[in-house]
């Protein structure tokens, strides 16, 4: 997005503090955060205007299970700020450079997978990922004309498939189940900005209640 920045520390920083500080306090998390201008090592893939950077003793909890908690806080904050779905990537949460390392991991994995697909002719299927991570894979391969990448599935099992551009769309795709514990995926799918093969739907199904006593909230 060119021109003046839509999301700034001056305008949105106080609102983010007003929301996040009581949430972290109620959860007894030893975390501090700074709202800062966006920066990235891969602007061609992710170029946020605003970042929330976490430090503190509980950063490991924040980044556990592929940063499940951090991404959940990011999602909730974006909802509180009423950010349009096509602008979610302009606000980014990070800690210990997790985002930079994850982008590099996905970019290299996508490129390695593409080479394998070109060589063997077999499609490559990623595990379910969030819409932002799927978008990273698509962007990492946008200059590679020998393969195509598409998202298949709905909701938390939506996943990227890479296949050779000179072959038809694979018909033998078996969608992988979402990992446990479930990640909080973005219900809006904007990973490619165009037509989607199918629409995300959230049904009443899902894991049943766990047996045993519920933990007390402190």
84 and 136 in a single domain? The answer is no
Number of domains forming the structure of the chain: 2
92 and 113 in a single domain? The answer is no
At 199 the pLDDT is 33
Arithmetic mean of pLDDT, 37-47: 85
At 93 the pLDDT is 96
Tell me if 4 is assigned to some domain.
no
CATH of the domain at 144: 3.30.1370.50
122 and 71 in a single domain? The answer is no
Give the mean pLDDT of the chain.
Answer: 83
pLDDT one-digit tens code per residue, 99-111: 989 999 999 999 9
Which of 75, 96, 117 is the endpoint of a domain?
96
Higher pLDDT, 175 or 114: 114
Tell me if 211 is assigned to some domain.
no
**Band of pLDDT at residue 210, cut at 50, 70 and 90:** very low
Arithmetic mean of pLDDT, 134-143: 93
Whole-angstrom distance, CA of residue 59 vs CA of residue 32: 9
69 and 150 in a single domain? The answer is no
90 and 114 in a single domain? The answer is no
84 and 123 in a single domain? The answer is no
> Is 90's pLDDT higher than 90?
yes
194 and 141 in a single domain? The answer is yes
> Is 35's pLDDT higher than 50?
yes
Tell me if 218 is assigned to some domain.
no
CATH of the domain at 21: 3.30.300
Which of 66, 96, 126 is the endpoint of a domain?
96
133 and 70 in a single domain? The answer is no
At 4 the pLDDT is 62
> Is 213's pLDDT higher than 60?
no
Whole-angstrom distance, CA of residue 37 vs CA of residue 115: 36
Long-range contacts (CB closer than 8 Å, 24 or more residues apart) made by 71-80: 71/130, 71/183, 71/184, 72/184, 73/20, 73/23, 75/184, 75/186, 76/19, 76/23, 77/16, 77/19, 77/20, 77/52, 80/15, 80/19
Arithmetic mean of pLDDT, 12-18: 97
Tell me if 54 is assigned to some domain.
yes
> Domain span at residue 117?
109-200
Tell me if 213 is assigned to some domain.
no
> Is 175's pLDDT higher than 70?
yes
Q: How do strand 124-125 and strand 32-37 relate by DSSP bridges?
A: unpaired
Tell me if 1 is assigned to some domain.
no
């Amino acid at each position: 997005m060119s021109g003046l920045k839509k999301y700034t520390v001056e305008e949105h920083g106080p609102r983010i503090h007003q929301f996040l500080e009581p949430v972290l306090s109620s959860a007894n998390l030893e975390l501090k955060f700074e709202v800062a201008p966006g920066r990235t090592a891969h602007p061609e893939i992710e170029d946020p205007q605003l970042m929330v950077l976490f430090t503190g003793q509980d950063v490991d909890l924040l980044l556990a299970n592929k940063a499940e908690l951090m991404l959940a806080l990011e999602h909730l904050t974006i909802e509180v700020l009423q950010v349009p779905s096509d602008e979610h990537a302009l606000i980014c949460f990070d800690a210990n450079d997790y985002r930079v390392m994850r982008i590099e991991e996905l970019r290299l994995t996508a490129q390695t997978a593409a080479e394998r697909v070109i060589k063997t002719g077999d499609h490559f299927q990623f595990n379910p990922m969030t819409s932002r991570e799927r978008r990273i894979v698509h962007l990492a391969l946008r200059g590679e004309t020998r393969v195509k990448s598409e998202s298949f599935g709905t909701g938390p099992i939506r996943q990227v498939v890479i296949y050779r551009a000179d072959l038809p769309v694979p018909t033998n795709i078996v969608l992988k189940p979402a990992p446990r514990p479930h990640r909080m995926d973005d219900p809006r799918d904007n990973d490619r900005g165009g037509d989607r093969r199918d629409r995300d739907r959230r049904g009443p199904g899902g894991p049943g209640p766990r047996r045993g006593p519920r933990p007390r909230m402190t």
